Amino acid sequence: MEMEKEVYRLPLIGEKAPSFKAKTTQGIISFPDDYKGKWVVLFSHPADFTPVCTTEFYAFQKRYEEFKKLNTELIGLSIDQVFSHIKWVEWIKEKLGIEIKFPIIADDLGNVAKLYGMIHPGKGTNTVRSVFIIDPNGIIRAILYYPQEVGRNIDEILRVVRALQVSDKNGVAMPANWPNNELIGSKVIIPPASSEKEAKERLEKAKKKEIEAYDWWFAYKEVKVE
């Protein structure tokens, strides 16, 4: 009789990020306590010493300073042991000329992976390529998943962090491909009117050029992005 595969629940956007204590290449971390007041990109990779994962870590490190300018820390994870992470990081520095400066969780028992739903049925016992973007209050704000055979676009992850921060600061929404949207460029979307009165007022403001709008439900504006 075939045994059923264990299925782990995926945390949801808007929920508190599950807390944990884990061994990393930079010592023990307690999450989220050690990262209070910071944004965090927590991401898993299938295994050390694999080509696609190596290209991803290289790309993350190349953009690490850009993440830090956004008050954002990176945390990697796989179910390898810490000595494997350490040797892999040494290999990357020696062969590729770049030092991985963010911690990598050695989740060899799979405890963190289970908390975050990083192990998927049909994909073996390795973690898939998941990304959790977590805000300074410890709330999960975005989740991205990629299959093992497709490497991540790190610029997109950076864009999502920046977009969330602009959205929070200004109370707006971000259009597709922001800040290079095909309709409104780098401008952002004003939340739709919530009453008939507000809808009429918005159309009047658009006529007076006080705001820009295609209609009462599709208004937009420029915001300053630091």
* Spatial distance between the Cα atoms of 141 and 33, rounded to a whole number of angstroms: 17
Catalytic residues: 53
Residue 99, CB-side half-sphere exposure with 13 Å CA sphere: 3
Residue showing tokens 């658009």: 206
Q: Give the pairing of strands 39-44 and 72-78.
A: parallel
* Spatial distance between the Cα atoms of 155 and 104, rounded to a whole number of angstroms: 20
* Spatial distance between the Cα atoms of 92 and 58, rounded to a whole number of angstroms: 8
Beta-carbon count within 10 A of 23 CB: 17
**CB within 8 A of 7, min separation 6: which ones?**
121
* Spatial distance between the Cα atoms of 128 and 198, rounded to a whole number of angstroms: 46
Which contiguous run of DSSP H or E holds residue 199? Answer: helix 196-207
In this structure, what token pair is assigned to residue 206?
């658009």
Contact 37, 163 (CB under 8 A): no
C-alpha pair distances (Å), 38 with each of 41, 131, 142, 170, 200: 10, 16, 15, 19, 40
